Amino acid sequence: MINVNPTRMELTRLKKRLATAERGHKLLKDKRDEMVRRFMNLIRENQELRKALDEKLEKAISKFSITQAILGTEQVYEALLCPAREAAITISQQTIMNVDVPKISFDVSEEKNDLPYGFAFTTGELDESVLDMANLLPDLIKLAEIEKTCNILADEIEKTRRRVNALEHIMIPEMQETIKFISMKLEDNERSNITRLMKVKDLIAEENNA
């Protein structure tokens, strides 16, 4: 219970605070539920994208390993010294339920060839591996965006959950208990005043009859 003076002014003030807390509690619960819904959708999207990427990366790495076994590590590294293409990454923000999350976009330079080496001393597996990895870049960036968004949303959901619990189990019950206490105290005072008034009235009546 909150330590306050049991007055009508305090009772009115507490009732207003309680109404505000109850509205805030409902809004926070709605926000938490919607964030959880979007979070679960992102988790599913993340799992599907990661599964598809794992399969594609495994194939690309397998082709790269074959090339490395045929040509040797030094020759493969020499062939890949120059990047196949350049990409400019831009990180901005978007909001989900008033929570700032990253938005990652990129522009791929078309000035360079997809394969930055000559074909005389390389293999077809290396060509395929390089092209596969280049084609995976958009999905890898998308995966990074989703996973960072999931992390931020998870933290925000936990903060909102704690606020909801604090309102639901501590603040609102304390205010309700205090309002009940003040109301009972005021009722007791009112009954005492009525009793005193009745006694005074009886005394006055006795004096008049004497």
pLDDT digits 0-9 by tens, 117-131: 666 566 777 777 777
pLDDT digits 0-9 by tens, 1-52: 677 788 889 999 999 999 999 999 999 999 999 999 999 999 999 999 999 9
Phi, psi angles (nearest 5°) of residue 108: -95, 130
Tell me how far apart the terminal alpha carbons of the chain are, to the nearest angstrom. 51
Q: Helix or strand or coil: residue 2?
A: coil
Mean per-residue pLDDT over the chain, rounded: 85
CA–CA gap between residue 155 and residue 150 (Å, rounded): 9
Which residue segments constitute the domains of the chain, with CATH numbers given?
8-202 (1.10.287.3240)
